[in-house]
Every structure is written in C-alpha cells, then in structure tokens.
Amino acid sequence: MAVSDPGLPNVPEELLSEHPHLFAEASARALITSPAFLLSIMVIVGAWGLGLAIIPFQGRLTQIDAGTLWSTTFIVYLGVTIFAAFPLIVYSAFIQRERLHALGDTLAELEHHGWQTLVGDVIRRYGEAFRPERFTVPLFLATLTAALGSVLVVFSDGFAVIERLATEGTISSVLVQISQAHPVAFGFLGAYFFSLQYLLRRYLARDLSPGVYMHLVVRTWIVLILTFVYATIRTPVIDTGAPVWSTDVVVVSFVGGVIPNVIWQALRSRALLLLGTASDDRSNEMPFGKIQGLNTWQQARLLEAGVENAQNLAMADVVELMVGTRLGAVRLLDWIDQSMLYVHVGDEIDQYRREGVRTASALVLSFCGPEPTNRDWSDPAPVTPVFRTNPDGSADPKVISNVIAITNHPNFHRVQQLRELAKLQVAREDTAGEAG
C-alpha cells in the first residue's frame, strides 16, 4: 500500500502500520477535542473571566457609562485574546495539513540525494517528534505565557487603558498609555516580536514541532527575568508614583527581548566590575558566527535542538538534525563540515578561507588527495597551497596534525559517505538523462 497524497513518495506498508498518525491528515473534530487545543482555550477563557470579574470593583471605571465601559472592555480583551491565541492558531493550521507534508518533504529530499537507507530511521524519528500528545504541555504553556505577557503589556497600569479608551475614544491614547509601561513589558514585546517571526518561519518550513513552543516559552521567561533585573539596577527618569523610564532602558529591554544575550552580557559585565574580576567569557567558545551561511534564526533552531556552538555542531548526528530541524540535508552537511574545520584550526579558519579552503573535507582533499587513509605523511611535497608548506617545500607539521585529527573525527567519514552517495545519485541521474 502506498500513500495516495501526490506530495508524498511511496512508503512501505510496515511503516504505514507502525506510524499511522504520521500519514493521515487531522480532522477539525480531532483538533478541537485534542487536549492541547482544549487547555489553550481554557487559558484564554479563564483570562476573560478573571478580567470581567475584576472590572466592577475598579472605582474609576464605575463613573463611565455602562454601555461604553463594556464595549470598550470587549475591544481591549479581544486584542489581548488575539495576542494570546496566536500560538494556538499557528498550531491548528500546522497540525491539520502541514505536518503530513513535512515528512513528505524530508523523504523526497532523501530520495533526491540517494539516501534511501536513511528512510526507515527518519520516519521512526518523525513518529516520535510529531506525536500529537507531545504538543499538549508545550502549547498550553505557550498560550499561558502569551496571555500573561499580553496582560502585562496592556494592563501595566491597571485598567487605565480601558478608562482612557472609554473617555478619549482614540487608539493613539491607548498606545500612549502602553508606552509608559514597565521595561519588563517592553522585554515581553521584544520576545513576542521574535516569537511571531520564529513561529511563522517554522510554519512555512513545515517544522513546527513541540520543541518550538517550549523553546519560546523558556526564552520569553528568561527575557522577563533579565529585563526585570536590568530595570531594577536602572532608576527611572521621573519617579513620582508613575515612573517614566529613559529611552535607552526601553530600547535595551526591547532588543534584549529579541536577543537575550544583549541584557545578559550587560548584567554580566556589571557583576564582573563589582567583583573586580576581568571579563573572560568562555561560555561562547566556538561561536556560530564563524560558520558561513548560518543566520540568527537558524542558530536559534539549532539551539532548540541542543546544538549551542560550532563544537556541538561538529559532533551532531546528521540524521537527527535533518529530522529535528528541517534545515536541509545539504546545508547541514556543509555547516557540520565547516564546524569540523573550525574546531581543529580555530581562528586560523579565516586564513584557510582566503586560500579557498572552507570545510574540513576541502582541507583533507587539497592536502591528501581523494584517499586520506593511504596518505604517506613523510612525503615532502603534498598537494597544498603555499601557506601550508615550509619554505623548503616540506609539509607544515601543524597542518599535518590538523589533517590527521580531522580524518579521525567521528563525523568526518559520515559526512564523506553522504557526500559520495549524493554524487553517485547525481551521476545516475545524468546517465539516465543522456540515455533518454
């Protein structure tokens, strides 16, 4: 039996029976009755109920006409609900259709590169990664975090937003009121700004696993804590019951929401200064910044998969990253190949790149030829650019050491094997095209 959807390649019967939920589209009824959906709706309804229960006890609001008050309240809470419901909306769109095609895209990529031997392993890992019950807790926490953050932004000064909108009747008055919020609110806005783009990118890439939501939840709470501490050590410009914060505090809080390391480094530098300790940040050794073609969003995706720097990437399992990140098999191979070179040559990687060597495979190929295991290391004239040889023409011992270390790296032969399979597949397709 084969999968009938035209976007999926044929899948063996045993894999269909073993993982039926992966090859079937979710119905609307199944979605609405799922624990993840129900818990998220409960969070949103609970926020509405709590807010509506508190409003009658607000002294200033009782002076406003009842009809105006409740219509204004509805508008404000509708806006908060849209903020809180965004993670749920993206999940609903993904789980009903895109989840099925996510697997099909990966299987098609394996077939394209001639890596059919990996199909069984990939499908089994998808079966674990996209089990519907795994979404329950992450989606609930994401909705709860978005709801609490939205309340923090809109109701930073109590129900002043509702009062201002009801009396002045302009959206600009609401924005002015929100602009006076605590820096923690701007930290959340920065984190929410990042989350919107991240969820959208992952949805379009058909890569919306439960880990996405957990990553954004943890990231947002870290931002809230960091911005709270940062605001605590900074004093407001005016503090007469309603503090007004300086522009730089607001800017740092928002940017820190997008890039938490901005605030973390500021706090860390302040702590080191107070302790009289020289700054020596070893936590960012082998940073991703040295890997070409790896942007901020892709770095966040690898971080979500537990790959925190280039050293981790050099040791990463290719198949696991293909399934867990959907960043593309060829791109992952290239990044891992670059990381292996970076791990062994360090900051000298820039010099190697100027000479046209940007990956570990390229170094080994240019230095040893296609058969590194048969290399005679006593040969005084290897095929290398000038900068890797001594003036007398002999090989640089440091480069020899790096090449030997690379060829003994656990991932080197795996990368080479997958590259060779891809080359063979291209050759077969070329041959078939000429024959046709």
For residues 371 and 105, the model is more confident at: 105
- The DSSP output letter for 158 is T
User: Average pLDDT in the 324-348 region?
Assistant: 83
For residues 304 and 248, the model is more confident at: 248
Q: List, in order, residues 6 or more apart from 318 with CB less than 8 Å away.
A: 329, 332, 333, 336, 411, 414, 415, 418
Residue 205 has pLDDT above 80, yes or no: no
At residue 194, the pLDDT reads 92
CA 420 – CA 426 distance, rounded (Å): 10
At residue 391, the pLDDT reads 59
Tell me if residue 153 falls in helix, strand or coil.
helix
Residue 50 has pLDDT above 80, yes or no: no
Q: Which two tokens stand for residue 251?
A: 């800017």
At residue 99, the pLDDT reads 67
User: Average pLDDT in the 343-357 region?
Assistant: 82
Q: What is the 3-state secondary structure (H, E, C) of 184-215?
A: HHHHHHHHHHHHHHHHHHHHHCCCCCHHHHHH
Q: Is the pTM of this model over 0.85?
A: no
Tell me if residue 244 falls in helix, strand or coil.
strand
CA 345 – CA 360 distance, rounded (Å): 10
At residue 149, the pLDDT reads 87
Digit-coded pLDDT (tens) for 110-125: 776 677 777 777 777 7
At residue 54, the pLDDT reads 65
Residue 370 CA from chain centroid, whole number: 36
At residue 378, the pLDDT reads 44
Residue 273 has pLDDT above 60, yes or no: yes
At residue 381, the pLDDT reads 41
At residue 224, the pLDDT reads 93
Helix ranges restricted to H, 259-409: 261-275, 296-304, 310-315, 318-325, 329-345, 349-354, 360-368, 397-407
Tell me if residue 130 falls in helix, strand or coil.
coil
Best-predicted range by mean pLDDT among 81-90, 140-149, 275-284, 398-407?
140-149
For residues 413 and 30, the model is more confident at: 413
Q: List, in order, residues 6 or more apart from 232 with CB less than 8 Å away.
A: none
Kindly report the average pLDDT of the chain as a whole number: 75
At residue 191, the pLDDT reads 93
Residue 158 has pLDDT above 70, yes or no: yes
Instruction: Look at phi and psi of residue 252 and say left if phi exceeds 0, alpha if psi is from -120 to 50, else beta.
Output: alpha
One-letter amino acid at 226 equals: L
CA 55 – CA 60 distance, rounded (Å): 10
CA 313 – CA 320 distance, rounded (Å): 12
At residue 377, the pLDDT reads 42
- The DSSP output letter for 26 is P
Residue 151 has pLDDT above 80, yes or no: yes
CA 213 – CA 336 distance, rounded (Å): 26
At residue 223, the pLDDT reads 93
- In this structure, what are the phi and psi dihedrals at residue 238, rounded to the nearest 5 degrees? -130, 130
Q: Which two tokens stand for residue 89?
A: 């909306």
Burial 286-297 (b: 16+ CB within 10 A, else e): bebebbeebeee
At residue 227, the pLDDT reads 93
At residue 4, the pLDDT reads 44
Q: Which two tokens stand for residue 296?
A: 């901020």
* Residue 193: pLDDT band with limits 50, 70, 90: very high
Q: Are 90 and 199 in contact (CB under 8 A)?
A: yes
Digit-coded pLDDT (tens) for 18-41: 555 555 555 556 566 677 677 777
If residue 139 lies in a helix (H) or strand (E), which one and from where to where?
A: helix 136-154
Percent of the chain with pLDDT over 90: 6
Query: CA neighbours within 13 Å on the CB side: how many for 139?
Result: 29
Digit-coded pLDDT (tens) for 206-241: 778 788 898 899 999 999 999 999 988 887 777 666
Task: Give residue limits of the domains in the chain.
Answer: 13-275, 299-435
C-alpha to C-alpha distances, 286 to 281, 308, 317, nearest whole angstrom = 12, 9, 18
Tell me if residue 24 falls in helix, strand or coil.
coil
Q: Are 182 and 239 in contact (CB under 8 A)?
A: no
Q: Are 165 and 72 in contact (CB under 8 A)?
A: yes
Length of the chain: 436
